[in-house]
Structure 1
Amino acid sequence: SEQHIGFWFRSEDKLRTFQATMDGFSFNRLAPYESWEEFSSDAKNLWKIYKEICQPVHVTRTAVRYINQINIPIKDLTDLKDYLRTVPEVSPDLTQPGLQTFFMQLQIPQQDLDCMLIINEALTQPTTPEVVTVIFDLDLFRQKIWNSDDEDIWSFLEELRYRKNEVFEASITDKTRELID
């Protein structure tokens, strides 16, 4: 027999998702994005409901994750470094031109916040034949035991959001900024 371990909800407009299990809470917003204030307000409201129903005692992981899809016009692309500041380096002794696909993961401790930054970067299926699509995924998290009523969780998530913004800006070039503005 199958055991039911949680619920997954999606808003009517299909832009927000919420997962609830007895030991997990996850809230997501899909593009087009709204302000952090709206997002965190929705998350806090859902967290309040979740706490009433599931009555968690502790929170063991707090995180923000942003999965960005960057579409680079093929006609403008000569080097990925023109768009991203951290890219895989291919040996010049490999004589075949071009890079068909890649997946790269970096794990960088953020000692001042006592957390971990994971950067996933990958080429993925393009959205149209005229572009190269890069996934730029930032996951900032802390494994720590918090009391589930601790309001400091929300200020810490805010700190993670600020760090995510710093990392994103440090990772892209002006050419990428032109694409996303």
Structure 2
Amino acid sequence: MTVAKDRRHYSKAPVVEALIDIQIEQVPAVDLAAVERLTQAVLPEFPTRLPLHHLQMGFQVSPGGDAEFMKDQQTLGYRLDRPGRVLQFRTTGFSYSHLAPYSDWTTFSAEAQGYWDLYLDALAPTRANRCAVRMINRLPLPAGDIRLVNCLNFYPTLPDSLPTNAQSLFMQLQLPMKQVDPDAIAILGLYSAPPAPGPNAIMLDIDFVIQRSIPVGEAFQVLAILGDKKDEIFEACITDEIRKLIA
């Protein structure tokens, strides 16, 4: 039996979007009509439904040398919205998002698993080929002279000969996390926050992925591991200056 992890709770959780994503192996092919029936079943909970399309464009050159423009658009599934939540049912997989204000991982993952179970019952996939947990955080920064070294343990450094008043920031690291799973990768992003009312802020984006063939019945066991480890990554990236602002 898996023991529930004690998680640090922040009353001002900086999460602007938490995402659980599962991609499936399409053997046998998933029927779009079954996805449509599934979305109809949850419309009372998610009144807004938008189609998701896959668009391919290119050129084909005939033997005579003439180029012909080609475009193919296929419907992959549907995006369903309600306040604070976004659900996607696709022929290629499933995703569930929790928008701000964020509650907690236990609530979020339990909701996601309920909709995943509906997906399994309706579409009967046998294996997943990608499981991911993504947490996009808008971290408030202290007022006054903002020095990232005081706020974060993950930040860019500049040579002394260059100006330090950068106007924008984008930094990404892709880290193999073999201590978690041989196929796990953590993608850490640090970038400028979009303008918004309130204090200065910076975005910390944690995308934790395992990409390999997994029986669908084990997908949420894998996601539970990623859910624990993404907390450890978050805590490792921030300092007490940030903790005081989100406590």
Match in the other structure for 1:135 = 203
Alignment of 1:97-112 (within 5 A): 97-112=164-179
CA shift, 1:65, in A, is: 0.7
Q: Distance in 2 between matches of 1:88 and 1:126?
A: 21
Specify the alignment match of 2:67 in structure 1: none
Q: From 167, 183, 189, give the equivalent of 1:120.
A: 189
Match of 2:110 in 1: 41
> How many equivalent pairs are there?
174
Report if aligned partners of 1:23, 1:56 keep a CA contact under 8 Å in 2: no
Q: Quote how far apart the aligned CAs of 1:116 are.
A: 0.5
Q: TM-score of the superposition, structure 1-length normalised?
A: 0.89
Task: Extract unaligned runs of 5+ from structure 2.
Answer: 1-71
User: Structure 2 matches for 1:162-181, cutoff 5 A?
Assistant: 162-181=228-247
**Deviations 1:27-47 (Å, cap 9, x if unpaired)?**
110111122222122111101
Q: Distance in 2 between matches of 1:137 and 1:16?
A: 19
> Higher Cα Rg: structure 1 or 2?
2
| Partner SS for 1:158 | helix
Q: Do 1:71 and 1:126's aligned partners in 2 also have CA atoms closer than 8 Å?
A: no
TM-score, normalization by structure 2: 0.66
**Cα distance between partner residues in 1 of 2:238 and 2:195:** 19
Between the aligned partners of 2:154 and 2:105, the Cα distance in structure 1 is 26
- Determine the C-alpha separation between the residues in 1 that align with 2:97 and 2:225: 18
Cα distance in 2 for residues equivalent to 1:78 and 1:134 = 11
One-letter code aligned to 2:245: L
Contact kept in structure 1, 2:78 and 2:88, CA below 8 Å: yes
Amino acid at match of 1:40: S
Q: Which runs of 4+ in 1 moved over 6 A?
A: none
RMSD: 1.6
Aligned mates of 2:230, 2:133 — CA distance in 1: 8
> Quick one: percent identity of the two aligned structures?
32
Offset of 1:2 from its aligned partner? Answer: 4.5
Q: Measure, in 2, the Cα distance between the counterparts of 1:173 and 1:133.
A: 14
User: Quick check: 2:158–2:164 contact (8 Å CA) kept in 1?
Assistant: no
Counterpart selection for 1:84 from 152, 166, 170: 152
